[in-house]
Amino acid sequence: MSRKEYFAYGSNLNFEQMAYRCPEATAVGIAKLDGYELAFRRGYLTILPKEGASVEGLIWSVTDHDESQLDCYEGYPTFYDKETMTVTDADGAPHEIMVYTMNAPYRDQLLPVSSRYNAVVLQGCLDAGISPQQFYDADEKYRKAYKARAAPVPKKHAPER
């Protein structure tokens, strides 16, 4: 049975969720993806290029069956696509690894994030031993952008005569 490594940065950090969806997956360890930041788009997390930033996540070893389950969950190839990127593990070793990235036009859309999704991701941070700070930063950035987008535009009144 062939296996490959997959880098999780969102809800798939959650051990219970992964055990249900991908029962043959095993956690390998924490890793870092340089040159990207977490971002909420269309109600879910994705990664976007950003110089000087990094995303901490978890390497999973998955089977072909696990990968097909993940593809279904991630809406591959329509909602998310798969890319091969290099992450660095805790020992500094590089891993060429599969990463899901949100496709356009979805990654350009700000939609509300469910409290359930947030809870799953936060539990995943605890499960994986990852600081939730990058999640909080992404959430704050999303909320500011969403609020600014949704703010009413003041109406201009014609002068009275």
Percent composition of the chain: helix, strand, coil (DSSP 3-state, to 5): 35, 40, 25
Determine whether the annotation assigns residue 9 to a binding site: yes
Q: In the beta sheet, which residues pair with residue 44?
A: 41
Assess whether 74 carries a catalytic annotation: yes
Left, alpha or beta for 80 (phi > 0: left; psi -120 to 50: alpha)? beta
Beta strands in 12-155 (DSSP E): 26-41, 44-63, 80-89, 94-102
Determine whether the annotation assigns residue 40 to a binding site: no
Q: Assess contact for 90 and 64: CB atoms under 8 A.
A: no
Q: Which residues 6+ apart lie within 8 Å of 123 measured at CB?
A: 14, 16
Determine whether the annotation assigns residue 75 to a binding site: no
Q: Which two tokens stand for residue 14?
A: 């959650």
Of the residues 37, 56, 67, 74, only one is catalytic, namely 74
Determine whether the annotation assigns residue 8 to a binding site: yes
Determine whether the annotation assigns residue 61 to a binding site: no
Known binding-site positions for substrate: 6-11, 117
Which positions make up the binding site? 6-11, 117
Active-site residue list: 74
